[in-house]
Chains A and B, each alone.
Chain A
Amino acid sequence: MTTAVIAEEAPVAAPPAGRATVVLRRFLRNRTALGGAVVLVLLFLLAFVGPYATKWSYSHIDYTALRAAPGADHWWGTNRIGQDVFAQTVRGLQKSLVIGLLVAVLSTGLASLVGACAGYFGGWTDRLLMFLVDLLLVFPSFLIIAIVSPRLNSSGWFALVGLLGLFAWMITARVVRSMTLSLKEREFVRAARYMGVGPFRIIWRHVLPNVASFLIIDATIQVGGAVMSETALSYFGFGVQPPDVSLGTLIADGTSAAVTYPWMFFFAAGLLVVFVLAVNLVGDGLRDALDPTSKGASR
């Protein structure tokens, strides 16, 4: 600790940094988390620039090269009907990145909003929101998605993201609600109330940061979960449909060939693993950056 003697009217050089700056600084100081973030950026580059780097399109069928091994022409080889694996994988990566991250953000965001509001406001708001949560919990979500998604073809897979998100937040919301209930009784929330801070600002500034560790863990799990649910849906003929692909469908198709034609499987599977790992690293870093008592991130 530095000791500084401060005169009453000390000239102040820079105003103190706010929480956002402090958290960002702590995050940037965390090497592994930063590594994860860089990997995520690289994945996005690969997914969105990759298609322009190769002359093959993901749906084009090259009859001259069926099951070709990786080489100069087809960088990552071709699949059983002669489609370029690289083009397909980056296309699938595009889908899966967006689906995974969007679903996670959407469901965790919805969960924290509903949970925190139910817990904070209590009374009828609470009863109504929890009724909604219970209702959605008993709904056979898979069935609903299966029925609805074919009709949404025109709006494409963004609707799928919405649906996946819509059915993944309820349990999280219940947990957030109970955490909020106990936070609400804490003195610092009461202090904010007596200062005249509005309820939504209190939720945003005091409640959510204090449940952030849980939310971040939840979101990182959701990322992997969303990619997997999408695969399951596709497998049953909903979700992403051929000729379009996602990492999930590629892995599902390639599994049987994993031993004989490993390139059909391992590129997609490897990228998925890298993706989930990177998200976890970023999540851990964010958690440490937000939690002032964590040992991981020093100031």
Chain B
Amino acid sequence: MSPILQVTDLDVDFDGRPAVRGVALTLERGEVLGLVGESGSGKSATALAVLGLLPGNAQVRGSVRLDGQELVGASEKQLTRIRGSRVSMVFQDPLSAFTPVYRIGDQIAEAVRAHQDVSREQARQRAVELLDLVGIPEPALRARAFPHEFSGGMRQRAMIAMAMANDPDIILADEPTTALDVTIQAQVLDVLRTAQRETGAALLLVSHDLGVIAGTADRVAVMHEGRVVESGTAVDVFERPQEPYTKRLLAAVPRMDTPRAPQPPTGETVLKVRGLTRTFPLLKGTAFKRRIGSVYAVDGVDLDIRRGETLALVGESGSGKSTTLFELLELAPPEGGSIELFGNDLAGLGKAETKALRRRVQIVFQDPMASLDPRMPVGDIVAEPLRTQGADRATIGRRVPRLLAQVGLDPAHAERYPHEFSGGQRQRVGIARALSVEPELLVLDEPVSALDVSVQAGVLELLQRLKEELGLAYLFVSHDLSVVRNIADRVSVVYLGRTVEAGPVDEVFERPRHPYTQALLSAVPLPDPTRERARQRSRILLAGDPPSPTRRYDGCRFRARCPLRPHLGERERKRCEQEAPVFDGDGAACHFPRVREVV
């Protein structure tokens, strides 16, 4: 049989600048093709070109044949008929794909009616069926919800339901899980695979995440600078890459399954946090704000870091990781609990002592573009903490070039502005700024999550080197567990603002005891098709979304999603409901911890 989609010699230019060059792809019926590449490699442009969805400033040349029918240069009318019925799309940001003012169910029904001659009632029925198929609980009820009432993961499921509505031949998914947490990502990928099986459609999956591709794709095409540099079966590409670029890419991906000897804790304690809490008022109204509740953003976090040690703080989005960091950095008495920095309790610290502490703790932010003042030359940016600490001109003039060199930048570029640097270089500027006052504890809030894998590897290496050279301690926040495995000595897992498990990195990764940690680790896809497929069968899929932090829970706050609880006896279950498990030192905050290997 001829392939369902055949792309040959596809070129895309944006305002004359080439974005895609000579791309050739074939998609057989019912197969999953993974299109993988770093940002700017042209993967999305390729996917959008297939559907003729590129913006007006793009020029497309070449040929895209859908079942023999040429799509490049086809009229808008023809394309509209194809979109949604024969080819449907799942975008990265599902919020933008739904119209905010219509109910989800109606929008899916609308999609059904656009291409099928059915009654309104039948279409609505079908919408509910579809929502049920993608695992939305109480689909009949939820069909009446508006898009903003759905969480990110649910919206993505609804999007998939809509994509399935007309039994398409091809589903095009562009970074469908990039904005989601790992546990939700695992759910959505599972749904996507189900959808593909149910409809028998071919799936073109575009992603920068090699793990996602490895677990789902039958065949893989690797893109780099607008070209497909290598393609083949997933196993071939991942296990026997031929092209140097693919080899480099695969080597740069941090992997969760490579053990690394963590440093045994040696030095004195740098940071000690006990029972930290932070609540935000929940306000309503625009002119007169009324307090209608509280967000318990941090609600019992414990941390311990020693000199020369890297502690990774992991958890899903909204679990309170950043809030914890910001509480530390305020250097003010915390709302609840205690923070001890270098042996000084933050409660009852004088002005002079606070100032002295400032020098010893510095921060590196997630988004290097946002955290550097766009109107300041990087030399000034790096010098700012020094200046604040009262260093004189001569010292600053001497230190700044040395700092830039230390993080691998050219000191001659000190007079340039941030926008003249690449993402990875900007993050190096951020690191140089933090290092300028010779801190002892560096707080890193997702320092590499905005970077491409190859750039990320460089920055991680730099951090590792600096730690050894300068004897720093790191508090490293990340949601990427593969990165954590590769840099951390100890790990602390938070769920809904509370520490649930902590311990040495190999202990936590190889013998996790808390059911949440197990689910988290099990959800991380490995860039290894063979192992990933084996893992998929035993994957722990968490039900639902993380509960809202605006409520306080009696008993264990994980119990609604806990995969272990249904297997417990009556008495034990009662205990989970009534008694909150406490976290003390290393170990898991669970009444019934049991080791389960998931990596």
Q: Residues on A close to B: CB < 8 A?
A: 2-4, 6-10, 12, 14-19, 22, 186-188, 190-192, 194-197, 201, 205-206, 209-210, 212, 290-293, 299
Contacts and interface: CB of A to CB of B under 8 A. Distances in A.
Contacts of B326: 190
A12 B365 contact: no
Nearest to A292: B417
Interface of B: 326, 329, 355, 358, 362-363, 365-367, 370-377, 379-380, 383-385, 388-389, 393-394, 396-398, 400-402, 405-406, 410-412, 414-420, 433
Given A6-B411, A197-B384, A209 B397 contact: no
B380 A19 contact: yes
Contacts of A190: 326, 365, 371
Given A2-B410, A10-B405, A10-B411, A18 B380 contact: yes
Contacts of A9: 402
B379 A196 contact: no
Contacts of B383: 18
> A interface, by DSSP: helix, strand, loop or mixed?
loop
Given A18-B377, A19-B380, A12 B411 contact: yes
Contact of B375 (A17, A194, A201, A210): A210
A199 B104 CA distance: 47
14 contacts: A7-B405, A12-B401, A12-B411, A19-B375, A186-B370, A187-B365, A190-B326, A194-B358, A196-B355, A197-B384, A209-B373, A290-B375, A292-B375, A293-B419
B367 A293 contact: no
B252 to A, nearest CB: 22
Contacts of A292: 374-375, 417-420
Contacts, number: 114
Nearest to B386: A195
B466 to A, nearest CB: 13
Nearest to B354: A196
A210 B418 CA distance: 14
A10 B404 CA distance: 11
Contacts of A197: 384, 388
Contact of B358 (A14, A19, A195, A291): A195
A3 B410 contact: yes
Contact of B376 (A3, A12, A19, A293): A19
A263 to B, nearest CB: 47
A9 to B, nearest CB: 8
Given A16-B379, A192-B373, A209-B373, 13 more contacts: A2-B412, A6-B405, A10-B405, A12-B397, A12-B411, A16-B415, A17-B379, A187-B367, A188-B371, A191-B433, A201-B388, A212-B375, A299-B416
Contacts of B374: 188, 210, 292-293
Given A16-B400, A194-B329, A195-B358, A188 B377 contact: no
A22 B377 contact: yes
